[in-house]
Amino acid sequence: MSSRTAEGPQEHDVTIDGRSVRVRDAGDPDGAPIVYFHGTPGSRLDVGFGDGAATQAGVRVISFDRPGYGRSSPAAYDLESVARDALQIATDLGVDRFAALGWSGGGPFALATAAYGGDRVSAVGVAGGLAPPQEMPGGTDAFTPEDQRALSYLPDDPSGAALAFREANQGTLQLLLSARNDDADARWIDWMWGQTDPTVVADPALRTALRTVLDEGLRQGPTGVCWDNVAWGGPWGFALTEVRARAHLWYGEDDQMVPPANGRWLAAQLPQAALTSYADEGHLTPMRHWAEMMRALTA
């Protein structure tokens, strides 16, 4: 099953439809494989903090940058195309069956991979991930009128939707880029998660990991962020009933970025779902429960 024998994380580029996709291969090269989908914004480095735990647990973690993130070529994409990329990457690495895991904005991509991958996906995990906003009651309440206008381009003009989203959110996107380039103390980490995830942001190693993930994910600018919002903000293109793999859902009850109502709704829609809620935790649950999540997905 494994094509990797070297110790330590390995990185390489895979060519898919003429695009270069940067792949990271970490943990135990002979271990049970998990294909990981990063957040919005994020990168293949998202769960690098857990490399040692993965090796110890006998788990192989394969992650990759979506188009326009990190070191992957920019391109238009949707949930299905990223799922197809993941399946192709797994094939190229000699991996037949695997678990899929998405954190935050990566959650919808993990679910899509389970839907399109069929029996190749043994289990799927979502940590603080969105439910389909167009389907979940109240799912679009947080959308601004400008965001609604951007998504009105779908499904016919996804490129127009991505451009409209970028224009509507120039201020927020510029703040993200400014945090990447100018905030040497990474104070944005405290602003975003200081109240909901204090034990995580107080850990120097995890704080460095968060900074590294953002720096790498936004090295090409905010294009990937815009396409993520297009991919999961509009119609998903598949039904949750098509996700036949067992699903594990993890949510912090204090999460202000993706409220736990998303997890409760997903748990009610997915054919096989187990929901775990963490009291007094927010959006950074994988940084406290990584070993637990790996065990559940590879059991």
The pLDDT assigned to 181 comes to: 59
The pLDDT assigned to 1 comes to: 44
Task: State the SS3 of 112-177.
Answer: HHHHHHHHHEEEEEEECCCCCCCCCCCCCCCCCHHHHHHHCCCCCCHHHHHHHHHHHCHHHHHHHH
The pLDDT assigned to 40 comes to: 97
Per-residue pLDDT tens over the stretch 161-184:
999 999 999 888 887 888 765 566
Average pLDDT over residues 3-13: 78
pLDDT of 6 higher than 70: no
Per-residue pLDDT tens over the stretch 64-106:
999 999 999 999 999 999 999 999 999 999 999 999 999 999 9
Instruction: List the domains of the chain with CATH numbers.
Output: 10-298 (3.40.50.1820)
pLDDT of 3 higher than 60: no
The pLDDT assigned to 2 comes to: 46
Average pLDDT over residues 246-257: 98
Per-residue pLDDT tens over the stretch 259-283:
999 999 999 999 999 999 999 999 9
pLDDT of 5 higher than 80: no
The pLDDT assigned to 161 comes to: 97
- pLDDT above 70 coverage of the chain, percent: 96
The pLDDT assigned to 188 comes to: 86
